Amino acid sequence: MVGTKSDVSRTTLPRRQLGRALRDARQANGYTLEQVAEVLEISRSALGRLELGQNEKIKVRDIEFICQYYGLPEERTEYLKLLAEQARVRPWWEDFRNLVRPGFNTYLQLEAAATELHFFQALIIPGLLQTPDYARSVRSSAPMGSSADADWLVERRIQRSAILTRRHKPMRAEFLVHESALRTVVGSMRIMSSQYRHLADMGRRENVSIRVVPFTAGFPGGLAVPPFIIIDFPHGEPSVVYTEGAIGTMIFEDADDVNRFRVIHEALNGAALEEQGSRDLLRTMARRYEQ
């Protein structure tokens, strides 16, 4: 588990994914660190730091050479090179790290590398599903920085949602949204009505599932379940769970912790309305708010 209360845009999580994959590939070939270091003409300690995710200066060409030496297939090599590039590139949100929730920049890195996302949200409409007006109203309720900064962050939030609608390999995402998040009025009735219709429309996409956990379901996941996101990665990379609260975030990497969240998610999933029923509820709420 990784807890954060400050800027962690340089977190070792993405690098550890790369390091873990390289370590597994080395061990699968039966090589020791000493053997590989000698062949690649690097120090054993440098290779060890790379496998532990402690090397911040990662060269993509080195990763490619290592992958070739291990005999990894091209698709796997390209994925690990992508992880290396993400570890090197200055993230777009770094200049705005004081404007975002502590630790959220870590989530953005993980989201960029993910193949599937599983959300539970009981407090607010998930960011990837927010309309521009809803997002602006949320931002205005927690002022940080100038209005220009706020507008910039809202624009980036909306741009991020393109991962759900892009033509090439749109992100698969499953959203469980508690009815309490839907009933909380953000901005105005007009904004909420538009937001409900947007949710209903997004839920019709093949790669997106949106289901409502109704008040009548009680507490299927137990008391005090925080908002969380289960993040799945390609090529069998271990999943992680991102959670957030008022003063910070936590990322769970341990397999037992991730499995506990999956159990909670399945309980919530079992209590949620079906997709069509959820869309019907959303459209009904939209009509009521319009009146």
Chain segment 129-158, per-residue pLDDT in tens:
999 999 988 877 655 555 666 676 677 777
Residues of the chain with CATH 1.10.260.40: 10-88
**What would the mean pLDDT of 187-195 be, rounded to a whole number?**
94
**Rounded CA separation 199/137 (Å):** 17
What does the pLDDT look like over 85-141, one tens digit per residue?
Answer: 776 655 444 444 444 455 566 787 788 888 999 999 999 999 999 999 999 888 776
Per the CB < 8 A criterion, the answer to whether 143 and 150 are in contact is: yes
Residue 273 pLDDT > 60: yes
* Strand partners for 116: 172, 232
Assign domain 101-131+160-290 to its CATH superfamily: Endonuclease Chain A (3.30.870.10)
Provide the mean pLDDT of the chain.
84
* Strand partners for 252: 241
Predicted confidence at residue 12, as pLDDT, reads: 55
**Rounded CA separation 151/278 (Å):** 31
Residues of the chain with CATH 3.30.870.10: 101-131+160-290
Assign domain 10-88 to its CATH superfamily: lambda repressor-like DNA-binding domains (1.10.260.40)
**Rounded CA separation 172/96 (Å):** 28
What does the pLDDT look like over 12-34, one tens digit per residue?
Answer: 566 778 888 899 999 999 999 99
Query: CA-CA distances (angstroms) from residue 1 to 4, 40, 105, 227, 254?
Result: 10, 33, 17, 16, 6
Residue 4 pLDDT > 50: no
